[in-house]
Amino acid sequence: MMKHQSDHSQFNPQVQVIHVTYDNIIIENDHTFFNWKEDTLILDAHPFFEILREFEKNDSSSDKKVLNFPCIHIEDDKTEKICDITLTPEKDKITITLFDYTTKYKDLNQIAQQKNESILLAKELELKNKYLLEKEEFKNNFIANINHEIRTPLTSILGFVEVLEKTKLTFEQEELARIIKRESLHLNALIDDMIDLSKIESGKLKIVEERFSIQNLIDGVHESYSRIAKEKQITFETNVDSNIQEYLIGDRTRVYQILNNILSNAFKFTEEGKITFSVIKNYQRTNKLSLNFKIEDTGIGIMEENIPYLFDRFTRFDAGKRISGTGLGLAIVKNLIDLLNGEIKVTSMPEKGTTFNIKLPFKFEIIKTTPERKKKRYTLPKSAKKYRILVVEDEEVTQYLIMKVLISQGNFFVDIAINGEEAINYIERRKYDLILMDLTVSKIDGYQATQMIRNNYGDKFISAIPIIGFSGRSNDAARDKCIRSGMDDFIAKPFEQEELIYKITKQIAKKAAD
């Protein structure tokens, strides 16, 4: 609260003195700043003076008390003042003294204004932040749900296109199937990007520290892009610093995602010339090191004024839009690099090319380590009869697609249950070698059905049936929940036929080995 002026001599205020009767009529006025006329009612001059009625009401013994009113705004048609006012009741009149402190109060006011404003602004920001967080949560939930809703039909589209491609097609039909596949894959990539970006922005994307072979990662990148370079008839060169340890500790998946995004852009925007991918060690201290990944192309380049916006979402500078892309790739790259505590720099010249320099920190083990295990191959155990698979799925198109894929292998019989309850009825009547369990089926969902199978049967053939969960929710949480509920593996929609067969074969082979 403002400190009011109690010592009227301190600031030499201008003073106006007015005498009024107990009927509130002005007897005398020195007119220093308010020119209120004598013989008029002071109550009409300003509503403050209604307080004089207090003196009328009180009896003669108590009304002799002087009243002080600090910091009162008094204004009339011509004058505006901030005054301390003293009302002094006397025998036949009341003396009103106005001390003008307008300048002083206004000076003091600035401090209070700043202090209060900063508190109110902080509250305003807090409210805005709360509103934005609520919006963000809504957006993330929306994306998660739409992801599920889109992936289910997309699984069917991609699966049926693969089935279609294996049939006899005319050249034109082949071309149309190829376009459907390309566009579906593009849509799938867009969903992946949206999910990734949403996870990063909501802080849900966790960076993992795993031991991996950097050489293996670079070889994989080189192999994939050499094929594209050959198709595009451009040169692709990979140079790796031989001083880099073979095994590093870091998030392999995210490093691959970053490199893949930048290289994929380089290949998209380079029609002739060369793309160079170099990896060098910046420094190494105890068990830490920093690598510099440099990707240099001779593509169309970027205008200097566009570079600051390069990592914004949905930014595309190819006005003609001849080149496909979600416009989210570089936004994801920048976010991932920030999460990994790295750095990214871009230099570019239109029509000359672009260079990306990415610095990323890693750790490495000082002790001698064993080499990384390769993906194990599995084959179905030899059997005189076909393996029987129960597919628990309520979507007709997905049922049909899985049946097509499995039956075309020649090794499987397939039964379909449309919900968890029906699945339980089936397994009580028939022996199955494996169950493919959709997680969101009705009545009893995939998790509950699995727990019932694992816990409620003394018959080991039933309780130990390999179960693979599948869902449009392609996140680690869904995978972990599957494993926790007792499933043996998880496959995300849309799945590659090869991966589906690999996982089924692996589980049947493992069961047979047990």
Binding stretches for other proteins (CB under 8 A): 1-2, 4, 46-48, 50-51, 53-54, 67-73, 82, 105-106, 108-109, 112-113, 116-117, 119-120, 123, 127
CB of 136 vs other proteins, minimal distance in Å: 18
Nearer to other proteins, 108 or 307 (CB): 108
CB of 115 vs other proteins, minimal distance in Å: 9
Residue entry with tokens 């509103």: 131
Nearer to other proteins, 68 or 463 (CB): 68
Spatial separation of the C-alpha atoms in residues 59 and 44, rounded to whole Å: 24
Spatial separation of the C-alpha atoms in residues 455 and 371, rounded to whole Å: 38
CB of 50 vs other proteins, minimal distance in Å: 5
Question: Cα 161 to chain center, whole Å?
Answer: 33
Helix, strand or coil, per DSSP, at residue 477: helix
Question: Do residues 354 and 348 lie in contact, with contact meaning Cβ atoms separated by under 8 Å?
Answer: yes
Nearer to other proteins, 51 or 185 (CB): 51
Spatial separation of the C-alpha atoms in residues 106 and 103, rounded to whole Å: 5
DSSP string covering 287-314 = TEEEEEEEEEE-SS---GGGGGGTTSTT
The two three-digit tokens of residue 59, written as one number: 């009896």
Nearer to other proteins, 120 or 208 (CB): 120
CB of 192 vs other proteins, minimal distance in Å: 36
CB of 122 vs other proteins, minimal distance in Å: 10
Nearer to other proteins, 68 or 355 (CB): 68
Nearer to other proteins, 54 or 496 (CB): 54
The two three-digit tokens of residue 175, written as one number: 């071309």
What length is written for the chain?
Answer: 514
CB of 69 vs other proteins, minimal distance in Å: 5
- Please give the DSSP secondary-structure letter assigned to residue 376: P
- Please give the DSSP secondary-structure letter assigned to residue 48: G
State which amino acid sits at residue 380: L
Nearer to other proteins, 1 or 319 (CB): 1
Nearer to other proteins, 48 or 413 (CB): 48
CB of 124 vs other proteins, minimal distance in Å: 9
CB of 43 vs other proteins, minimal distance in Å: 8
Nearest-Å Rg of the Cα atoms of the chain is 40
CB of 108 vs other proteins, minimal distance in Å: 8
Spatial separation of the C-alpha atoms in residues 463 and 454, rounded to whole Å: 5
Nearer to other proteins, 125 or 179 (CB): 125
Q: CA torsion 69→70→74→80, rounded to 10°?
A: 160
DSSP string covering 229-266 = HHHHT-EEEEEE-TTS-SEEEE-HHHHHHHHHHHHHHH
Nearer to other proteins, 70 or 220 (CB): 70
CB of 266 vs other proteins, minimal distance in Å: 49
Task: Name beta bridge partners: 291.
Answer: 281, 360
Question: Do residues 439 and 478 lie in contact, with contact meaning Cβ atoms separated by under 8 Å?
Answer: yes
Question: Do residues 154 and 471 lie in contact, with contact meaning Cβ atoms separated by under 8 Å?
Answer: no
